[in-house]
Copies of this chain bind each other. A is one copy, B any other.
Amino acid sequence: MLTIDALQYSRWSREIFRQMRQGGLDCVHVTIAYHETAVETLRRIGEWNRLFEDNGDLIMRVGDARDVHDARQSGRTGIVYGFQNCSPIEDDFSLVEVFHQLGVRFMQLSYNNQSLLATGCYEETDPGITRFGRQVIREMNRVGMVVDMSHSAERSTLEAIELSRRPIAITHANPATFHPALRNKSDRVLKALGDSGGMLGFSLYPHHLKGGSGCSLADFCAMVGRTAELMGVDHIGIGSDLCQDQPDSVVAWMRNGRWSRVTDYGEGSAADAGFPAQPGWFANSTHYGNLAAGLAEAGFSGEEVEKIMGGNWLRFFEETFGPEDGSRA
Contacts and interface: CB of A to CB of B under 8 A. Distances in A.
Nearest to A143: B49
Contacts of A50: 94
Given A38-B38, A38-B39, A39-B38, A46 B95 contact: yes
A267 interface: no
Given A49-B98, A101-B102, A102-B98, A92 B43 contact: yes
B39 A98 contact: no
Nearest to A90: B39
A58 B38 CA distance: 31
A17 B130 CA distance: 37
A94 B39 contact: no
A145 to B, nearest CB: 13
Interface string A9-51: 0000000000000000000000000000111001101110110
A97 interface: yes
A45 B92 CA distance: 12
Nearest to A49: B97
Contacts of A94: 43, 46-47, 49-50
Nearest to A327: B56
Contact of A97 (B39, B46, B97, B101): B46
Contacts of A47: 94
Contacts of A37: 39
A143 to B, nearest CB: 9
Q: Which 8 A-B residue pairings sit nearest by Cβ, starting from the closest?
A: A46-B94, A38-B39, A42-B98, A49-B97, A39-B39, A45-B98, A46-B98, A42-B95
Given A42-B92, A46-B92, A102-B102, 15 more contacts: A38-B38, A39-B39, A42-B42, A42-B95, A43-B94, A45-B98, A45-B101, A46-B94, A46-B98, A47-B94, A49-B94, A49-B97, A49-B98, A50-B94, A101-B102
